[in-house]
């Protein structure tokens, strides 16, 4: 028996020797895995890069599996996704894994970037590692956007329209660019095919190659040591200091440091599986039929902030901002390590870096939050679906009630809320008469202004009269009605008794 | 490099004089450089048609894809009303499926006067909806709003809605439709291209091609 065991082991060793003699890759890879790394970076904050790689592998595997069923054709893609969701055993789960894996990958890549930035790990000699990392972030976002197009539903269709409209704003080459993006004059078969090519061949190829270069450079320069306040990076001394530190405190990366990476990667994979199982796949929403206009297209989570920013830019600066700011932002990220390759690494000595991360994080958070409920969009059904609050109809004259009807019927509620229900585009009307006089309300309704359309052509005089009469009753919790101070003065100067003309007409006659 | 086998012919090189080595070296180097040149030439010849294939969609012929198509009988459109009409894009190709369909808003001003608006908001292309009561077209994406004549009412759009050219052929309404309308690619593939980006003035002319 023992003889048997020995023979099997011998055969195994001989097989390994044969393979390594021919291949020559196993030992170098094992050596690379076990390379010494400073003990101080075997930390739970150094695990994001490996987790992102694990998620990339998950995306590749689930993507290949989805491609077994998915049909990248404009007439069939939406149907094949529904087939995956409902008719293919566990198809829904694979779609959910791929979708949640994508969201997690973006989150982990951004965490990785924030950690590297705050730890000053992009400084000498790891500048190029950072630059390739920025390209990896852009490719990850590119995968997210093209992946959203793969889900060829209403959101994907109109998202492509938004992409084409942004392209059309590029000076001089706008029109050819639109046709290059769409693959033709309309969003259709050619559009889906080219985004499929990008999503499945072009970007993944570049992504995997760039990850290879990124990891190669990490091995070449070593994982950055834990920053200490006052320990300055200079090109003359850093590499010597790093090698001394590694020689003094070095531990083999595998297994002494890598177990934390492995545990975190497992936790992330488990989180992806849990989200996929409990929340299921993303969409597809309605079919990509552009004649179905009862839709409110919205991009995926990672791009909601852009969607929000596009709602707030004034028309006059929108195109320049849309085209210039992304270029500047990306250029800043790419050039950052070139201009700041030396100096302090520790976040406590880099207040500007900490401030930048905080401001950007808060801004993106706010815009994303706004993107989830789009307060700038009219609520298309509000006028017909949201009831007028009963307390606003109590004790009102027939004219005022008629005005409440006008308010509903003319779609005012699409943009203005009453009692917290309705659109958020314009101000809530609950206390409008406490802020505006009757004259001001009439002017605003008929002529518009301040982002409100003019309703002069949509209201006849009796409708206007009724509407304003109703609005005059909306004074919150019995606030004083707005008064026009100039009227009082005018009346006073006309030598009339001030007491009798003190107040303009009250809203409730 | 020492682990790699030497080419049999090269083994003598080590004994040769530096001049001889240089001579042998330079001929091979020359041939190698020549071969690089050859490949550069072949690569260029290969690349030009590939670039042409890739840039094909941007070429003039496909961008001006558009045709006059009939979208319905005039009687379908009561004077003073704005109605949604679907048609199949003349620019559609094999496999476009549902995406070949296009919707537009047809407003009949008088017996002979129409306005045909693209469904796409002039801001970022989302589909606008008509509200007959308030006589407004509203966009669900970023809250752009337009008056019934298509001019900008409020919100982020910098101009009014895109309009298709139309003509009345007998009793039917015909429009010139083509690519997806954006700021750079107008809805009606007009002969004279309007400027790329323009802020619309108050009294811009509409629907001039009534016949």
- Residues B140, A184: C-beta atoms closer than 8 Å: no
Token duo for residue A18: 């044969």
- Interface residue B102 vs chain A (CB under 8 A): yes
**Complex ipTM:** 0.86
Instruction: Find where tokens 């009227």 sit.
Output: A487
- Interface residue B99 vs chain A (CB under 8 A): yes
- Interface residue B60 vs chain A (CB under 8 A): no
CA-CA-CA-CA torsion sign (B42, B44, B45, B50): positive
Facing A185 at nearest CB: one of B62, B119, B145: B62
pLDDT band at residue B10 using 50, 70 and 90 as cut-offs: low
Q: What is the pTM of this model?
A: 0.88
Of residues B2 and A217, more confidently modeled? A217
| 3-class DSSP state of A481 | coil
- Residues B136, A458: C-beta atoms closer than 8 Å: yes
**Alpha helices by DSSP H, chain B:** 18-54, 60-63
Q: In angstroms, rounded to a whole number, what is the distance separating the alpha carbons of residues A298 and A312?
A: 16
Q: In angstroms, rounded to a whole number, what is the distance separating the alpha carbons of residues A305 and A309?
A: 6
pLDDT tens column, A103-123: 999 999 999 999 999 999 999
Contact map slice: B 112-151 vs A, CB within 8 A: 119-120, 123-129, 131, 133-136, 138-143, 145, 147-148
Strands B172-177 and B163-169: antiparallel
Token duo for residue A304: 């909601």
Residue B137, beta-bridge partner list: B130, B146
- Interface residue A299 vs chain B (CB under 8 A): no
- Interface residue B93 vs chain A (CB under 8 A): yes
- Interface residue B92 vs chain A (CB under 8 A): yes
pLDDT band at residue A161 using 50, 70 and 90 as cut-offs: very high
pLDDT tens column, B84-122: 999 999 888 888 999 999 999 999 999 899 999 999 999
Looking from the CA of A319 toward its CB, the CA atoms found within 13 Å total 19
CA B22, distance to chain mean position in Å, is 58
**3-state DSSP helix/strand/coil percent for chain A, to nearest 5?**
65, 0, 30
pLDDT band at residue B191 using 50, 70 and 90 as cut-offs: very low
pLDDT band at residue A479 using 50, 70 and 90 as cut-offs: confident
Do residues B116 and B163 make contact, with C-beta atoms less than 8 angstroms apart? yes
- Residues A310, B156: C-beta atoms closer than 8 Å: yes
Task: Return the residue in B54, B83, B97 with the most chain A beta carbons within 10 A, the one to mutate for interface testing.
Answer: B97
pLDDT at B59: 79
| 3-class DSSP state of B150 | coil
A341, A346, A352, A358: CA torsion to nearest 10: 120
Instruction: Find where tokens 């976040």 sit.
Output: A347
Question: Is the confidence at residue A374, as pLDDT, over 80?
Answer: yes
Task: Return the residue in B140, B144, B176, B195 with the most chain A beta carbons within 10 A, the one to mutate for interface testing.
Answer: B140
């Amino acid at each position: 028996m023992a003889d048997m065991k020995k023979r099997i082991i011998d055969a195994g060793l001989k097989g390994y020797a044969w393979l390594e003699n021919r291949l020559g890759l196993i030992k170098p890879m094992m050596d690379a895995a076990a390379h010494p790394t400073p003990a101080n970076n075997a930390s739970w904050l150094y695990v994001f890069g490996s987790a992102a790689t694990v998620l990339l592998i998950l995306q590749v595997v689930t993507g290949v599996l989805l491609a077994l069923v998915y049909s990248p054709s404009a007439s069939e893609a939406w149907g094949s996704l529904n087939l995956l969701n409902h008719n293919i055993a566990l198809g829904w789960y694979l779609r959910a894994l791929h979708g949640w894996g994508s969201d997690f990958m973006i989150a982990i890549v951004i965490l990785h970037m924030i950690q590297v930035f705050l730890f000053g790990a992009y400084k000498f000699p790891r500048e190029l590692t950072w630059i390739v990392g920025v390209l990896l972030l852009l490719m990850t976002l590119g995968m997210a956007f093209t992946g959203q197009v793969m889900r060829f539903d209403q959101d994907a269709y109109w998202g492509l329209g938004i992409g084409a409209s942004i392209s059309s704003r590029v000076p001089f080459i706008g029109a050819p660019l639109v046709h290059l993006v769409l693959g033709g004059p309309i969003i259709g078969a050619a559009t889906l095919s080219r985004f499929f090519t990008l999503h499945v061949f072009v970007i993944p190829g570049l992504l995997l190659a760039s990850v290879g270069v990124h990891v190669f450079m990490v091995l070449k320069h070593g994982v950055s040591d834990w920053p200490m306040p006052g320990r300055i990076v200079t090109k003359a001394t850093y590499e010597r200091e790093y090698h001394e530190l590694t020689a003094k405190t070095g531990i083999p990366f595998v297994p002494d440091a890598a177990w934390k990476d492995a545990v975190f990667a497992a936790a992330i994979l488990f989180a992806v599986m849990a989200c996929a199982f409990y929340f299921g796949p993303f969409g597809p929403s309605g079919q990509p039929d552009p004649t179905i206009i009862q839709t409110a297209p919205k991009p995926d989570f990672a791009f909601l902030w852009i969607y929000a920013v596009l709602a707030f830019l004034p028309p006059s600066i929108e195109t320049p901002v849309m085209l210039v700011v992304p270029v500047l932002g990306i250029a800043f990220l790419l050039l950052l390590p070139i201009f700041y390759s030396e100096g302090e690494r520790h976040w406590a000595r880099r207040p500007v870096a900490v401030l930048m991360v905080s401001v950007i994080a808060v801004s993106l958070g706010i815009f994303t939050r706004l993107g989830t409920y789009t307060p700038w969009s009219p609520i298309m059904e509000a006028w017909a679906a949201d009831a007028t609050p009963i307390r606003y109809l109590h004790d009102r004259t027939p004219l005022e009630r008629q005005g409440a009807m006008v308010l509903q019927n003319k779609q005012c509620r699409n943009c203005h809320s009453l009692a917290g229900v309705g659109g958020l585009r314009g101000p809530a009307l609950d206390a409008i008469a406490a802020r505006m006089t009757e004259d001001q309300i009439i002017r605003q309704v008929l002529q518009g202004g301040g982002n409100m359309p003019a309703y002069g052509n949509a209201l006849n005089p009796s409708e206007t009269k009724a509407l304003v009469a109703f609005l005059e009753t909306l004074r919150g919790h019995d606030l004083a009605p707005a008064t026009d101070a100039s009227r009082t003065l005018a009346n006073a100067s006309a030598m009339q008794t001030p007491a009798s003309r003190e107040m303009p007409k009250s809203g409730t006659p | 490099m020492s682990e790699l086998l030497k080419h049999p012919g090269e083994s003598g090189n080590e004994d040769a004089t530096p001049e001889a080595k240089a001579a042998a070296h330079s001929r091979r180097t020359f041939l190698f450089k020549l071969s690089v040149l050859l490949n550069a030439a072949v690569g260029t010849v290969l690349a030009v048609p590939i670039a042409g294939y890739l840039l094909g969609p941007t070429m003039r012929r496909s961008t001006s894809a558009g045709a006059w198509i009939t979208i319905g009988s005039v009687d379908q459109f009561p004077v003073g009303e704005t109605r949604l009409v679907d048609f199949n894009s003349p620019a559609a190709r094999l496999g476009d499926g549902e995406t070949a369909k296009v919707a537009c808003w047809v407003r009949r001003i008088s017996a002979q006067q129409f306005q045909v608006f693209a469904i796409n908001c002039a801001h970022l292309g989302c589909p606008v909806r008509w509200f007959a009561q308030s006589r407004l077209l509203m966009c669900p994406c970023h809250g752009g709003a337009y008056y019934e004549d298509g001019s900008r009412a409020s919100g982020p759009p910098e101009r009014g809605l895109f309009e298709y050219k139309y003509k009345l052929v007998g009793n039917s309404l015909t429009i010139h439709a083509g690519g997806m309308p954006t700021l750079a690619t107008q809805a009606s593939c007009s002969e004279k291209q309007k400027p790329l980006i323009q802020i619309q003035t108050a009294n811009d002319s509409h629907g001039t091609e009534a016949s």
